[in-house]
Amino acid sequence: MLLDHYIASCLGNAQYYTQSELKVGSVLADKIRGRIQLSEANVQELGFNLFWLSSKLWAGQFLQGSASGTTISLDTTNARQKPGYIGDFHTHPYEKKMGGGAKLPFSNGDLVEYFDKPPLHQPISLHFVASSDQLYLIVFRGTPPAEPDFTVTTPEVVRLNEHMMNNDKLSTAYMKADSLTGMAKWAAMKKAWENHAPQAAAEFAEDTLRMNLDLANHHGYEFYMGSLAGTGEVTLTLQSRYVYCSTVTRVFSTMGEAYEAQRRAGPITLM
């Protein structure tokens, strides 16, 4: 289903069934591709706010983050006052900082912001993040609680910090890189990771994804992801549990969760 149709359906019916697949139209998808390509090339976070006007999702003006490449302000405090404001998009450029394996969905800080500052005039909200060739989407099917409950998950930086604390070769190379400026700094940082903790980029991506799934399932919002490769519309697939669905889907979804929990706990005894 096209994302615009999905938003219209959710606004018309608060319990509209969660879709297993959403398609981002080619106009918005190409805007997102343009931003993430530029962002990865310059190692600077880029973004824009999203507005729901005339039954269509529109991108607001382009915003850019700090030169340090690690933060962006999406002017949410002001933007959320506007009647059409429904969410935002920003980038996580890590290809040149850590390597191609670091495809990162929403950070701890992103989620705190989304929970804290939902739209003031729309009952649902949408947040996109693009990283490398991946696109991630969160859909809140109502107003989220004031803050995410991080006790239900493992922080995304646990293994990353362990590498930094327990690997003197990595920390020395990293500190040396950090004293550089411009693109030389990112190149040296990437080299530090690749030489001394080559698995760290993939672990960081895995831990961030896990945190996103745990929080989406705990708080009951929708988390999608898909590939930006190619051109035209982007297909996003549901990763979290259904928030609203038919009774039949619910039964099978619950069975799947029970199976998954059992699988993680140990060997399954077939009866």
Contact letters for Zn ion, residues 60-99 (x by CB under 5 A): ----------------------------------------
Q: Which is nearer to Zn ion, 55 or 68 (CB)?
A: 68
- Residue whose tokens read 């930094």: 164
CB of residue 92 vs Zn ion: minimum separation in angstroms? Answer: 6
Gap between the Cα atoms of 186 and 49, Å rounded: 27
Q: How far is CA 241 from the centre of its chain?
A: 16
Instruction: Give the position of tokens 């608060």.
Output: 14
As measured in angstroms, the least distance from the Cβ of 65 to Zn ion is 9
Strand partners, 158: none
Q: What's the min distance (Å) between Cβ of 113 and Zn ion?
A: 9
Residue with tokens 């500190």: 175
Among 64, 107, 131, 132, binds Zn ion (CB under 5 A): 107
Judged by CB under 5 A, the stretch of 110-118, 136-144, 173-181, 199-207 that binds Zn ion is 110-118
The residue whose Cβ lies closest to Zn ion is 110
Contacts to Zn ion from residues 164-223, by CB under 5 A:
none
d(CA 237, CA 259): 21
The most distant pair of C-alpha atoms in the chain lies apart, rounded to whole Å, by 62
Nearer to Zn ion, 11 or 157 (CB): 157
Can you read off the two tokens belonging to residue 28? 């918005």
Residue 109 Cβ vs Zn ion, minimum distance, rounded to whole Å: 7
CA-CA distance, 21 to 18, in Å (whole number)? 9
Q: From CA 170, how far away is CA 224, in angstroms rounded? A: 34
CB of 225 to Zn ion, least distance (A): 15
Q: How far is the CB of 209 from Zn ion (least distance, A)?
A: 14
Question: Candidates 104-112, 155-163, 194-202, 209-217 — which segment interacts with Zn ion by CB under 5 A?
Answer: 104-112
Question: Which helix (H) or strand (E) covers residue 6, if one does?
Answer: helix 3-12
Interface pick for Zn ion out of 110, 203, 207, 222 (rule CB under 5 A): 110
222-227 and 234-238: which strand pairing? antiparallel
Q: Which residues bind Zn ion (CB under 5 A)?
A: 107, 110
